[in-house]
Amino acid sequence: MKRITIVFLSVFLLLCGLLVAGLRINGTHSEPVGLYWAIGKRPQKGDLVFVTAPSLPIFALAKERGYLNVGFSATAHLIKRLVGIAGDRVTIDAAGVEINGLRLTNSTPLTKDGAGRPLRCFPIRNYILGSHEVLLMSEYSPASFDGRYFGPLQATTIQSVITPILTWN
C-alpha cells in the first residue's frame, strides 16, 4: 500500500511540474484532444493560443453547459486560433464569421448545441478590432464554442501560444 501511495504521489508531482513548465491539456473537441506545450512566443495572427475565459456571463453559461471542460484547473480555459487582431474588420452574422472580407471555414453559427439548447451568435458588422482586442476561432470544429458566440476579447486573455505534442480524435 505504501509503494502505491508513493507511485501516485510521484506521478501527481510530475504532472504538476509539467503543468507549471508549460503542459496544456485539451479535453474539448474545438481543437484535437490531447497534449499541447506552451511556447515562449508573442501571439501572432494564425497562432494556436491558450486562453483564460474572462468573467463574463456567456462564459459562465459555457462552463455550466460543459463547453469548457478540461477539469485540470478551477479557471475555465480555451484553446483557439488567433484569427483577428487590432485593425482587422470583423463581421459575425448567421452566415458565419468574416475577417477583412474573407469568410472563415466552419464559422457558421449553430442555433442549438449538441444537447438541443439554444445558442446565439454575437452579431457585429464591419467592426474594427481595437488595439487590445482579438478574435478567437476554431476552424477545426463547426461546433466549437468560439468568437462567433462571444465576440472579440481582450488580448490579455491569451496566456500563451501553444503547439500540439500529442493529439488524437
- What are residue 86's phi and psi, to 5 degrees? -50, 130
pLDDT digits (tens, 9 = 90+) for 92-110: 999 999 999 999 999 999 9
Residue 28 host element (H or E): none
Q: Are 44 and 82 in contact (CB under 8 A)?
A: yes
Please tell me the total count of domains within the chain: 1
Instruction: List the domain range (segments joined by +) for residue 8.
Output: 2-168
Task: Determine the pLDDT at residue 73.
Answer: 54
Q: Looking at residue 96, which CATH number applies to its domain?
A: 2.10.109.10
For the entire predicted model, the pTM comes to 0.89
pLDDT tens for residues 61-77?
998 998 886 555 556 78
pLDDT at 169: 75
Query: Which stretches of the chain are assigned E, i.e. beta strand?
Result: 23-26, 33-39, 48-52, 77-84, 89-93, 96-99, 102-103, 124-128, 133-137, 153-154, 158-168
Side chain identity at 91, as an amino acid letter?
T
pLDDT tens by residue, 25-67: 887 888 988 899 999 899 999 999 999 999 999 999 998 998 8
